[in-house]
Amino acid sequence: MLLREVEYARPASVDDAIRLLSEHPNARALAGGQTLVNVMKARAAAPDILVDLNRLDDLRSVGVTPDGGLELGAMATYTQLVGSPEVHSTRPIVAEVASQIADVQVRNRGTIGGNVCSADPTNHFLPLMVALDATMTIAGVDGQRTVPAEQFFLGVYFTAAGPGELLTRITIPPARRGDGFAAVPIGADGTCIVNAAATLEEGGARIAIGCVAATPVRATEMESVLSGADVSDERISEAARGLGASLDPPSDVHASADYRRHLAEVCAVRAVRHAAGRS
């Protein structure tokens, strides 16, 4: 590990963590480290101080809210989510998607908070949080505030959790008609080329596409076509028509913009079908 010299603190309470983050303008919270440490090794990021959240057991909790939703501590690991009865009984898609992320070692360390806060556009949880209409609780020295997932993602590696703030909790509303997810990763468990998540609810759908822009993109046209009760395969495919053309995705070594546009339609259809299959 060839990091730049960096201070390290391991606070014992969330308050301490927030205090440390707010006292140091160039501090970064260290969750599972599966992205941040690699980025630091590449010296693409060079924080002055790492605030290690791994002793904050409060942030590891996974629970059901009184209304039957899901409350996830930001430090819940993917492995925790995969095995959680609370997740399975409310929004099992969260466990399914967690199980698709990389390998066992990464899943043992990586956390849902880290996944969304690192905000890499190819991450799995970004479109899922948007589709599930999750609410992010962000704590700072002046107290806490909540931000809907859709407003949480502001850019590549850039979220609403600003300097001195910490994402503490993700709240997911109670189950709707069904949730779905689809992705085309590189190989069985590599980086996503395109991914999509969908939630079907009474009188509507929420569909979000990942990897096609800096932040997840809501497929609003498609959602409006699917606002009725008809979620037949034909209807879903019809709804996705034109989705690709509405996007302006990047080209890279894994996919041209055209290929991503195409995959966006395919993944959106698959995610909605997946959701419809459970409704």
Residues that bind other proteins (CB under 8 A): 2-5, 42-43, 103, 184, 186-191, 193, 252-256, 259, 262-263, 266
Of 103 and 234, which has the nearer Cβ to other proteins?
103
CB of 27 to other proteins, least distance (A): 20
Nearest by Cα to 24 from 165, 153, 227, 177: 165
Of 43 and 145, which has the nearer Cβ to other proteins?
43
CB of 94 to other proteins, least distance (A): 21
Nearest by Cα to 159 from 113, 102, 111, 191: 113
Which pair of tokens denotes residue 202? Answer: 């009474």
d(CA 73, CA 21): 18
d(CA 183, CA 27): 33
CB of 4 to other proteins, least distance (A): 7
CB of 218 to other proteins, least distance (A): 22
Of 121 and 173, which has the nearer Cβ to other proteins?
121
Of 163 and 190, which has the nearer Cβ to other proteins?
190
Judged by DSSP in three states, 78 sits in: helix
Q: Are 78 and 112 in contact (CB under 8 A)?
A: yes
